[in-house]
Amino acid sequence: MGAEQNVLMVLANQDFRDEEYSVPREIFEQNGIGTKVAAAEPGDCTGVNGLTISVDFTFDEINVDQFDAIVFVGGLGVERYFANEMVLGLAREFYSAGKYTCAICWAPVILAKAGLIEERNVTAWNGAKSDIENVGARYTGENVTIDGNIVTGSGPDAAGEFGQTIADLLQGN
């Protein structure tokens, strides 16, 4: 096995979807993939169901070269990132470096706002369908959709499949 793979998980400081973070993270750890957490503010992030997670990095501290993939976690709190230039820039930076750029639930809208999904196949929470289609992407409605180095998941029920898909891609399976 090669060098350890590392994933950066981006959470909203408030109101991220607990299981969209915890389920993929558990799968990554079971597969020997390291995970770090980034958010706008230092300190802790609190999920909609009360899960509290410590922040490892704020957006200005991230070195893209340290990670093999980025995962934007959904939940209502992610809305405040849709117009955040640091978040959109991070998505573009990972994508242009050829790294897996992943988002689940409401978070694929970040990829839309960053200009990364035009003419791509993408899934998301069905409430985000118009945001996806308005930028010229094809909304699939699948649990998980892979299109090049973009991986998207539909929501909490798909968190396990989403996490496993990313782990498999990182390990070349």
CATH number of the domain bearing residue 19: 3.40.50.880
The identity of residue 60, as a single letter, is: D
Token code pair at residue 35 = 């995970």
Domain count, the chain: 1
Asked whether the predicted pLDDT for residue 173 surpasses 80, the reply is no
Q: For the segment 44-101, what is each residue's pLDDT rounded down to a tens digit? A: 999 999 999 999 999 999 999 999 999 999 999 999 999 999 999 999 999 999 999 9
Amino acid (1-letter code) at residue 146? I
CB distance 92 to 114 below 8 Å: yes
Separation CA 97–CA 156 (nearest Å):
28
**Could you tell me if residue 114 is inside a domain?**
yes
Q: What is the pTM of this model?
A: 0.97
Question: Do the domain assignments include residue 101?
Answer: yes
Is residue 35 within 8 Å of residue 172, measured between CB atoms?
A: no
The residue to which tokens 């300190």 are assigned = 43
Residue 11 lies in a domain: yes
Does some domain include residue 1?
A: no
Could you tell me the residue range of the domain that residue 159 belongs to? 6-170
Q: What is the pLDDT of residue 2?
A: 47
